Amino acid sequence: MTMHRVIWITLIPAVLIALCVWTLQVTAAPQTASSRNTNDAATLLARASARTNIESPSSVPFVLFAKAKYALNQQSVEGTYALGWAAPNLYREDLQYGNVHETILVSGGKLYRVGQDTPHTYLWARMIKRALQWSLPSGARAKERPQGEHYGSGAQLTCIVANAAETHERICLDPNNYEPFSYDVSSPSGKQTWTFADYTSLANALSNSQRFPTAITYKDDRGTSAELDIQSIAAVSGFAPNEFTSPAGTPAQDLPNHAQ
């Protein structure tokens, strides 16, 4: 056997191995970097929703009570916000400020409202909803960005940046426990900033898998700000028989999309 033949016999297996490795790399990487980033971001947000959405169909009934503040151009209102939640289509919100009381009841596929709908009570209810569900807007392109340490908790945050049409969104969360800390959105209509802190589990709950922020803040570039200081949040085994009875003489309204 000649020396050249020995060399070719030795090289052939190495060439075949290299070809196999190259083929595997090509078939194993069908996604672009952009689609991979978007998928990773969507996965993080889905886990954040599973962590914080205490109003999901599988969640236990609970009651929540918070002290609330609202300010617009240095004029402020203080009040309270209470929520009794039995199911996504069965809950009651009671909001009070000064001598004014407002009740929002969702029952039997309808919405009932007692009292005047004001900007501050609407915003307080919206602040609770904002902390529940996290997802990318339709058609958004997103990517993750390491953000460093959160000044309050010491958590190493990851921020998800998403752009769709003329809207820019930025959600920062702890990638270890999927708890969001901030949400910023900018669009032609203005800029809004939300913060979420001091997460806690529901008292009396059998599982600690879901947690909810007890401090929520909001501000925008039009001089509006609001705070929710959640005093208590606890799982319950049931409610009083008349808790979700529709108020007499109150007309039923169709549910808006965010309340369904």
Domains of the chain, with CATH numbers?
35-259 (2.50.20)
Across the range 82-105, mean pLDDT stands at 93
Output the pLDDT for position 115: 87
Q: Is the pLDDT of residue 44 over 80?
A: yes
Residue 181 burial (CB < 10 Å; 0-12/13-18/19+)?
buried
Across the range 16-42, mean pLDDT stands at 49
Binning pLDDT at 50, 70 and 90, where does residue 38 land? low
Q: What is the pLDDT of residues 52-85, one digit of tens each?
A: 999 998 899 999 999 999 999 888 999 999 999 9
pTM comes to: 0.79
Whole-number Å distance between alpha carbons of 65 and 79:
11
> How much of the chain, in percent, has pLDDT values that exceed 90?
45
The candidate with the shortest Cα–Cα distance to 53, out of 134, 158, 173, is 134
Average pLDDT, the chain: 81
* Strand 90-97 versus strand 110-114 pairing type: unpaired
- Give the HSE-up count for residue 87: Cα atoms under 13 Å, Cβ half-sphere: 6
Output the pLDDT for position 26: 35
